[in-house]
Chain A
């Protein structure tokens, strides 16, 4: 079985897929890729199902040896990757021949870069997902970030195509269109809808929130993105009862410095939520680095949905271009 040998783990590299939804009643948050859109696009580029597990690198990438070779793609932020010393582009399928080393360095753009491999990273699934849940030390590779010397299995892929097609597939340039690349560009102005306690915040509080620039704090992580900036005046109505919290919820604790709940979030919480980041901008959250400066823009619920539908359409447009074939259509009948 083909493997990946971890020569250097990088700053914080974990195995992630699209997470484990459906276990809220156990207090288990989905986890999964912080920038799921990048992981999905990377998987499409190598020819995987979009939810296949890949490696999520944070701020500083690692070095990986492929003793048996592998078909790869890098997605998300540019970590200055080289293969055997030669630069490798983002958003492009490439092959590492047996014995080659892929090296990544510090980020040159956003927070996270994904390494996708044809066949996916094979780990034992927990509640149906390969995602690492760091806080509980569960899932992924031994429930932790990668270390030097780790060996990861590459899954077997099930490509079936008529003979003769394979060669043309191999030659085909697996890249993304400019239109798709534009849609993938992370935003610093995040679109938000009203949070469930929005009406408990005064107009003055909302003005502070929507008209200020917030800086991403150093102690932000996959559980929550902590922001520093003008304090948001406390809401009326006193303390509230703990309730379920949604991904991207912008909660305002005492002191008024907002926290955006992220992929490895607590499932319930008792802080009032002034807003909630729109799904269309979740991937931008995954690319926020400490000290990045962000702003919020309010959109209506219906508008947020329309934006997401539009984004999906754009991201899938390459599939219609047939430059990338959808996974399903690759399952030929014969």
Chain B
């Protein structure tokens, strides 16, 4: 039978909500927030790559931001558990999965499955989320040469936040980040959260080309550009590591759920690492 729109918006197990995305995909949201009111409960100061800055991020009270981050952490864990379950026990006809902060897009073969059937199957999976054990997070260290031509926005970020460049570097490399998901382009990991003191709005005008390996920040996120792409995040430095390459078993250096730490290196070390082909 066809999928009725009336069944949308129903809460399933684990506080999930379903939404048709296209005639061959279904979104599962874990935000538990009424859609019309979602802006008020925005878990992360999400910064679209090509987007012009819409509002200052500092305007939000600290407390509510901390609470929202907590929501994201919990919702993202459910996203990863559902993803894990779907990878361990694939559903025939499901063709692709796009995880994000608080949602999972499930793309399926429309000639084999229909939205209602996919929702039914997913409800069964959601009921079992509690039993899913996520793998121990890997700890990945990413060497970064900060500042100079590698980090053209480092000084300005310092000026914006009332810090020296050294303080920015220290703060950025002092925390362990979590990989919420990979998206945008192959191997681009959305890392959070940035220490409170580093939260910065993205550039008003995105760069047409950000060099591969660039380490940027936007909102309370940080990440590494795997390829030369357009981008609006503020660039603090660059890593000599290849974030995504076809000629190794693990194509992407980072996987969803990993923990990441940035390790400052000198320009000389960067050049040496790059020469080694890291």
Binding site for B on A (CB under 8 A): 21-28, 30, 126-127, 133, 135-139, 143, 193-196, 199-200, 236-249, 253-254, 266-271, 273, 276-279, 301-302, 304-305, 308-309, 312
Contacts and interface: CB of A to CB of B under 8 A. Distances in A.
Contact of B51 (A28, A238, A254, A277): A254
Given A246-B22, A267-B183, A302 B2 contact: yes
Contact of B23 (A127, A193, A238): A193
B23 A196 contact: no
Contact of B46 (A24, A135, A237, A242): A242
B191 interface: no
B30 to A, nearest CB: 11
Nearest to B47: A270
27 contacts: A22-B95, A22-B96, A24-B98, A24-B105, A127-B251, A138-B186, A138-B246, A195-B21, A239-B55, A244-B97, A244-B98, A244-B183, A246-B22, A246-B24, A246-B107, A247-B107, A253-B51, A254-B54, A266-B49, A267-B182, A267-B183, A268-B181, A270-B46, A276-B21, A276-B22, A301-B3, A301-B23
A237 B38 contact: yes
A277 to B, nearest CB: 8
Given A24-B99, A302-B3, A305-B110, A242 B190 contact: yes
A269 B190 CA distance: 12
B111 A312 contact: yes
Given A137-B227, A269-B48, A241 B101 contact: yes
Nearest to A280: B23
Given A243-B27, A271-B51, A24 B227 contact: no
Q: Is the contact region of chain A dominated by helix, strand, or loop, or is it mixed?
A: loop
B216 interface: no
Contact of B96 (A24, A237, A248, A271): A24
Contacts of B2: 301-302
Contacts of A243: 27, 29, 98, 100-103, 105
Interface string B242-278: 0010100001100110000000000000000000000
B42 interface: yes
Contacts of B182: 25-27, 267
Given A241-B38, A248-B22, A276-B21, 19 more contacts: A22-B95, A23-B186, A24-B96, A25-B181, A27-B188, A30-B96, A138-B246, A195-B21, A196-B27, A238-B39, A243-B101, A243-B102, A244-B183, A246-B107, A247-B22, A249-B22, A267-B98, A276-B23, A308-B110
A138 to B, nearest CB: 5
Nearest to A143: B246
A244 B103 contact: yes
A54 to B, nearest CB: 21
Bin the interface of chain B by size: 35 or more
A247 B188 CA distance: 19
Contacts of A24: 96-99, 105, 107
B114 A305 contact: yes
B119 interface: no
Contacts of B38: 237, 240-241
Interface of B: 2-3, 19-25, 27, 29, 31, 35-39, 42-44, 46-52, 54-55, 83, 87, 95-105, 107, 110-111, 114-115, 181-188, 190, 226-227, 229, 244, 246, 251-252, 255-256
A27 B27 CA distance: 17
Contacts of B183: 27, 242, 244, 266-268
A196 B21 CA distance: 5
Contact of A254 (B3, B27, B52): B52
Contacts of B46: 239-242, 270
B3 to A, nearest CB: 6
Interface centre among B29, B87, B98, B255 (most CB of A within 10 A): B98
Q: Quick one: which of B43, B87, B188, B255 has the most chain A CB within 10 A?
A: B188
Contact of A136 (B83, B103, B114, B186): B186
A236 B36 contact: yes
Contacts of B83: 25
Contact of A237 (B27, B36, B95, B100): B36
Output the residue of B25, B31, B35, B102 with the most chain A CB within 10 A: B25
Nearest to A268: B183
A135 B103 contact: no
Contacts of B47: 270
